[in-house]
Structure 1
Amino acid sequence: MTDRRGRQLLRPEISSTRATFLELFFDLVFVFALTRVSLRLVDGAGASAAGLAAEIARTGVLFLALWLLWSITTWVTSRYEPERSVIQFVVVGSMFGAMVMAVALPGAFEGRALPFVLAYLTVMVGRPLVIATAMRSHPRRTVPLQLAAWAAVGAVPWLAGAFAPDQLRLPLWVLALAIDGTGLVLGWPLPRLGAARASGWLIAGEHLADRYQQIFLISLGETILVIGLTYSGTDFTANRAGAFTVAFVTTALLWRIYFHRAGHVLAEALRVARSPGRLGASVAATHLVIVVGVLSTAVGYELVIVHPFGRMDPAWLVFVVGGPAIFLAARARFEYEIFGRVSWSRWGGLLALLLLAPVLTLGPPMVALAAVAATLAGVAIADGWRSRRRTPELPASPLLHGEAGGGDYHRTP
Structure 2
Amino acid sequence: MAAGRGAELLRPLTSSGRATFLELFFDLAFVVALTRVSQRFAGLGDDAGWALVTGFGRTLLLFLALWLIWSHTAWITSRYEPEQPLIQAVVVGTMFAGLIMAVTLPRAMEERALPFTAAYLMVMLVRPLVVAAALRGHPRRLVPFRLAVWASASAPLWLAGALGPDRLRLPLWAAALALDYLAWTLGWPLPWLGASKVGRWRIAGTHLADRYQQVFLIALGESILVIGVVFSGTDYSAERAAAFTVAFTTSALLWRIYFHRAGLLLTDALDRAAMPGRLGAVSERTHLLIVLSVLVTAVGYELVIDHPFGQPRPGWLLFVVGGPMLFLVARLRLEHEVFGRLSRSRIIGLVALLLCTPALARWTPMAGLSVVAGVLTLVALLDALRSRGRPPELPASPIGRGATDVSDSEA
TM-score, length-scaled by structure 1: 0.98
Per-residue Cα deviation, 1:144-196 (whole angstroms, up to 9, x for no partner): 00001101111110000001111100000000001100110000001111100
The answer to whether the 8 Å contact 1:272/1:400 transfers is no
1:50 maps to which residue? 50
Deviating above 3 A after TM superposition, structure 1's stretches of 4 or more consecutive aligned residues are none
Q: Does 1:357 align with 2:361?
A: no
Q: Does 1:297 align with 2:297?
A: yes
1:14 maps to which residue? 14
Q: Does 1:24 align with 2:16?
A: no
2:62 maps to which residue? 62
Q: Secondary structure at the match of 1:391?
A: coil
Q: CA deviation at 1:233?
A: 2.2
1:33 maps to which residue? 33
Q: How many angstroms apart in 1 are the aligned matches of 2:32 and 2:404?
A: 37
1:166 maps to which residue? 166
Q: How many angstroms apart in 2 are the aligned matches of 1:75 and 1:43?
A: 33
* Shift in CA distance, 131/372, structure 1 to aligned 2, threshold 3 Å: same
1:278 maps to which residue? 278
Q: CA deviation at 1:48?
A: 2.4
The answer to whether the 8 Å contact 1:187/1:195 transfers is yes
1:257 maps to which residue? 257
Q: How many angstroms apart in 2 are the aligned matches of 1:305 and 1:98?
A: 30
Letter in 2 for 1:357: T
* Shift in CA distance, 247/181, structure 1 to aligned 2, threshold 3 Å: same
Q: CA deviation at 1:315?
A: 2.3
2:312 maps to which residue? 312
Q: How many angstroms apart in 1 are the aligned matches of 2:139 and 2:17?
A: 25
The answer to whether the 8 Å contact 2:48/2:314 transfers is no
Letter in 2 for 1:85: P
Per-residue Cα deviation, 1:81-104 (whole angstroms, up to 9, x for no partner): 000001000000100000000000
Letter in 2 for 1:143: V
Q: Secondary structure at the match of 2:13?
A: coil
Q: How many angstroms apart in 1 are the aligned matches of 2:296 and 2:120?
A: 24
Per-residue Cα deviation, 1:389-411 (whole angstroms, up to 9, x for no partner): 00111011111524246245x74
Q: Secondary structure at the match of 1:67?
A: helix
Q: How many angstroms apart in 1 are the aligned matches of 2:112 and 2:228?
A: 28
Q: How many angstroms apart in 2 are the aligned matches of 1:104 and 1:51?
A: 22
Q: Once the two structures are aligned, what percentage of the paired residues are identical?
A: 61
Per-residue Cα deviation, 1:201-260 (whole angstroms, up to 9, x for no partner): 121001000000000000001101110111112411100000001000000000000000
Q: How many angstroms apart in 1 are the aligned matches of 2:299 and 2:404?
A: 40
User: Which structure 2 residue ranges, 5 or more long, are not aligned?
Assistant: none
User: Which structure 1 residue ranges, 5 or more long, are not aligned?
Assistant: none
* Shift in CA distance, 342/151, structure 1 to aligned 2, threshold 3 Å: same
Q: How many angstroms apart in 2 are the aligned matches of 1:96 and 1:192?
A: 35
The answer to whether the 8 Å contact 1:269/1:400 transfers is no
2:148 maps to which residue? 148
1:223 maps to which residue? 223
Q: CA deviation at 1:116?
A: 0.3
Q: Secondary structure at the match of 1:195?
A: coil
- Aligned 1:12-411 pairs, distance under 5 A: 12-404=12-404, 406-407=406-407, 411=410
Q: How many angstroms apart in 2 are the aligned matches of 1:280 and 1:329?
A: 18
Q: CA deviation at 1:279?
A: 0.4
Q: Secondary structure at the match of 1:44?
A: coil
Letter in 2 for 1:229: V
Tell me the matched-pair count: 411
Q: How many angstroms apart in 1 are the aligned matches of 2:217 and 2:23?
A: 14
Q: How many angstroms apart in 1 are the aligned matches of 2:165 and 2:175?
A: 16
Q: How many angstroms apart in 1 are the aligned matches of 2:352 and 2:219?
A: 24
Q: How many angstroms apart in 2 are the aligned matches of 1:371 and 1:84?
A: 50
Letter in 2 for 1:22: L
Q: Secondary structure at the match of 1:86?
A: helix
Q: Secondary structure at the match of 1:75?
A: helix
Q: How many angstroms apart in 2 are the aligned matches of 1:251 and 1:403?
A: 38
Q: How many angstroms apart in 2 are the aligned matches of 1:196 and 1:136?
A: 18
Q: How many angstroms apart in 2 are the aligned matches of 1:268 and 1:369?
A: 34
Q: Secondary structure at the match of 1:109?
A: coil
TM-score, length-scaled by structure 2: 0.98
